[in-house]
Structure 1
Amino acid sequence: MYAELQKSYYGCYMVTTLLTRSEFKTYAPIIVIDMSQQNDNLKTSTLDLGIEFEADIEFPPFTSAYCLILHDQIITYNPFNGEVRVL
């Protein structure tokens, strides 16, 4: 999905990734979830996505996880109270 995201999101067919497969696995284990192919008729409320990670070894101290959400609607999110507003 890391390489396929360019095809899906940008519509390009000549995919050029910034990292090789081994570099990706070693330095940047990015998880891509493409939810763009869902049926719009079934979406009657907000979409909740929960992610849990399991690893063979413990994550190093001070490991950070980030989330990037690409969406075609402008929204604001307040992390202090969890409020999401559509602008």
Structure 2
Amino acid sequence: MVLVPHVSVGIPQQLALTKILDKNVEILLPFRSWELVEFPSLSQTTRHTWPVKTTTKLETPRHVVVAFQINRKNKVTSNMSTFDNCNLTNIRVFLNSERYPYNDLFIDFKDNKYATLYEMFSNFRHSYYEIGNEPIFTPKEFKSISPITHIDCSRQKETIQSGSVVMRIEFETSENIPNDTTAYCLILHDRLFRYNPLTKIVRQV
């Protein structure tokens, strides 16, 4: 048996919803979509340029999360919930010609110099969920099991928002990327749809 949840509203809310139906007014439905892009096998070099995708102005990335895994893909016995730092030294996202972050990061995991990357990771909760920026991992845990890069692209110039956006990622490592290394890029977009209660038609703005 399949249980389907139903939402019931009180009489005041029913009257308000009825007025919306009578006016035949489209309802705006803003939300954020998550899109995962994968680079199955990185080349064994120290400098990489990844042309991720081209998007429209309506799907401009607001947050970008990048992570790496070494020799885990399609391995049943591997823990897919942990990630590798791959001796990352610098990373940046380009939306057309705009760079995020603007300054180099100067990361050195071997020398435990990754405070900037950890701060970017910690700020995700506040920037995206608008709650406290207390991270779920300690700095030591971040380095060993979750060295994830979060890049905040939410503050953009009008030139980016007025046309198509070409997104690419550039990053460097202190050593060649190991064989069978997969890169993941999680892109968080702002999306907007319109819903007509009478016709039940949903369309993207």
TM-score (norm 2): 0.32
Contact 2:124/2:133, CA 8 A, preserved across alignment: no
The offset of 1:52, in angstroms, is 2.0
**Which one has a larger percent strand, Structure 1 or Structure 2?**
2
1:11 corresponding residue in structure 2: 130
Cα RMSD for the two superposed structures? 1.9
1:22 positional shift: 2.0
Moved over 6 A (4+): none
SS in 2 for 1:60: coil
Number of matched pairs: 73
State how far apart, in whole Å, the 1-side matches of 2:178 and 2:146 are.
14
Change (3 A) 1:17 1:27: same
CA 1:6–1:21 in structure 2 vs 1: closer, same or farther (change >3 Å)? same
Residue 140 of structure 2 is matched in structure 1 by: 22
Change (3 A) 1:28 1:55: same
For 1:44 and 1:15, the matched residues in 2 are separated by 31
What is the aligned-residue identity percentage?
Answer: 38
Residue 2 of structure 1 aligns with an amino acid whose one-letter code is F
Could you tell me how far apart the structure 1 residues matched to 2:168 and 2:185 are? 12
Which structure ranks higher in relative contact order (CA pairs < 8 Å, sequence separation ≥ 6)?
Answer: 2
> In structure 2, what is the equivalent of residue 82 of structure 1?
none
2:124 is aligned with what amino acid? L
Unaligned runs of 5+ in 1: 75-86
Which residue number corresponds to residue 34 of structure 1? 152
Hey, what's the Cα distance between the residues in 2 that align with 1:28 and 1:63? 15
Structure showing greater radius of gyration is 2
Distance in 2 separating the partners of 1:19 and 1:72: 27
Determine which of 161, 164, 167 is the counterpart of 1:49.
167
Q: 1:71 to 1:11 in 2, by over 3 A?
A: same
Q: CA deviation at 1:73?
A: 1.3
Matches within 5 A, 1:63-78: 63-73=181-191
Unaligned 5+ runs, structure 2: 1-119, 193-203
